Amino acid sequence: MTVDRYNREINYLRVSITDRCNLRCDYCMPKEGLSLIGHDDILRYEEILRIVRVAVSAGVSKVRITGGEPLVRRGVVEFIQSLTSTEGLRDISLTTNGTLLEMYAEKLFAAGIKRINISLDSLNAGKYARITRGGDLNAVLRGIDAVYRIGYSPIKINVVAIKGFNDDEILDFAKLSLDKPYQIRFIELMNLGSADLDHANQYLSNSTVREIINRHYRLEFINAKTRKTDGPAEIYKISAAQGAIGFISPVSHQFCRTCNRLRLTADGHLRVCLLSDEEVDLKGPLRDGCSDAELRDLMERAVAKKPMHHELYCDEGQRKKCMKGMSSIGG
């Protein structure tokens, strides 16, 4: 399964270990939350480890742990310790909302996590509480300080750019890269989830974000992809800054031709495109006693269905949406 039908090397697996989250970000889920997957329907850690082992045998070399919020699942540190012993797996990282990070930073680092992504959409405590429906900004900032102090690298701070919400904070986020080696990554808002979460009128292109920063700082382009496992961000740097600024632009600048990833949902489905609702069930065959060869064959059949590009736009130019929200998919 290493290469798909469009000659893309598939070597990156994002693994959602839970659909649960301790926040309710308003572009991610409704105010009342989502129907949660039953305990028995969530993949057990040993099942995830087996899937990862088979995926690595087929060419995957990078795994990112996601949720929901992965740190709310009991036993996550021990799971990561087991994951790091997977032969052939060269890169393990984690994405978190950061609210529990201060508590877990030391243990995660000892378990083998050295690279971390932290979601943060406002530096204003009131606005942060509003968009997350009750989140504590100071807890996240303490978590960021903790991973910096411990020595995580890189530390990536993911900012979903939202018109009318945080477009007045673009420069504040950019400034975080001046004195610390943080990579601030601006991500375009995507149309995901149920109809009541439609934020189409709040879409802000990264071209606009870049223009805002360029009015005050000179951004220098510093890299295209340098490794086969590199993500889709275009990386820039403010002159003399310790950190960098990344732009992930799935709406305005489709990067599907270089997509190298698969997503394993918490309920055991393999998803080959974030913005397509087509999935292949791995959990059912796994629990029915399938062999590793059969499991690999299912993965390869899924990769064979990976589309050339997403369909965030219809032919008529109207925005389409994936009906599953990000918390259900796993980032």
pLDDT at 145 over 80: yes
Determine, yes or no, domain membership for 151.
Answer: yes
Does residue 83 belong to any structural domain of this protein? yes
> What is the structure's pLDDT at 170?
98
Least confident of 157-171, 189-203, 261-275: 189-203
Q: Quick one: average pLDDT of 131-160?
A: 97
CA distance 55 to 52: 5
Query: Is pLDDT above 90 for 180?
Result: yes
Residue 4 lies in a domain: no
The answer to the question of residue 129 being in a domain is yes
Cβ contacts of residue 130 below 8 Å, gap of 6+?
A: none
When divided into structural domains, the chain yields a total of 1
Does position 195 have pLDDT exceeding 50, yes or no? Answer: no
* Average pLDDT for 5-30: 90
Q: Classify the C-alpha dihedral 244-137-105-88 as positive or negative.
A: negative
**Would 201 be classed as within a structural domain?**
yes
pLDDT at site 241: 97
Ranges 48-57, 74-83, 149-158, 185-194: which has the least confidence: 185-194
On the question of pLDDT at 268 being above 90, the answer is yes
Query: Does 181 map to a domain?
Result: yes
How far, in Å, CA of 61 to CA of 80, rounded?
15
- Specify the 3-state DSSP secondary structure of 64: strand
Structure tokens at 324: 């599953």
Residue 198 confidence class, pLDDT cut points 50, 70, 90: low
pTM of the model: 0.91
Whole domain around residue 171: which residue ranges?
12-329
Whether 138 contacts 125, CB under 8 Å = yes
28 pLDDT above the threshold of 80: no
> pLDDT tens for residues 279-299?
999 999 999 999 999 999 999
Average pLDDT estimate for 159-175: 97
Residue 261 has pLDDT above 70, yes or no: yes
Kindly tell me the sign of the dihedral angle through the C-alpha atoms of 69, 70, 73, 74: negative
Does a structural domain hold residue 231?
A: yes
pLDDT number for residue 232:
84
pLDDT at 314 over 90: no
CATH of residue 252's domain is: 3.20.20.70
Query: H or E element: which one contains 271?
Result: strand 269-271
Write down the pLDDT at residue 196.
44
- 6: in domain: no
For residue 31, the model assigns a pLDDT of: 64
User: How far apart (Å, rounded) are the C-alpha atoms in residues 309 and 149?
Assistant: 40
- How confident is the model at residue 319, as a pLDDT? 46
Q: Which residue type does 19 have?
A: D
Give the pLDDT score at 277: 80
Average pLDDT of the chain? 89
Residue 286: per-residue pLDDT = 97
What is the pLDDT averaged over residues 198-227? 85
Q: What phi and psi values does residue 49 have, to the nearest 5 degrees?
A: -60, -40
Confidence of residue 79 (pLDDT cuts 50, 70, 90): very high
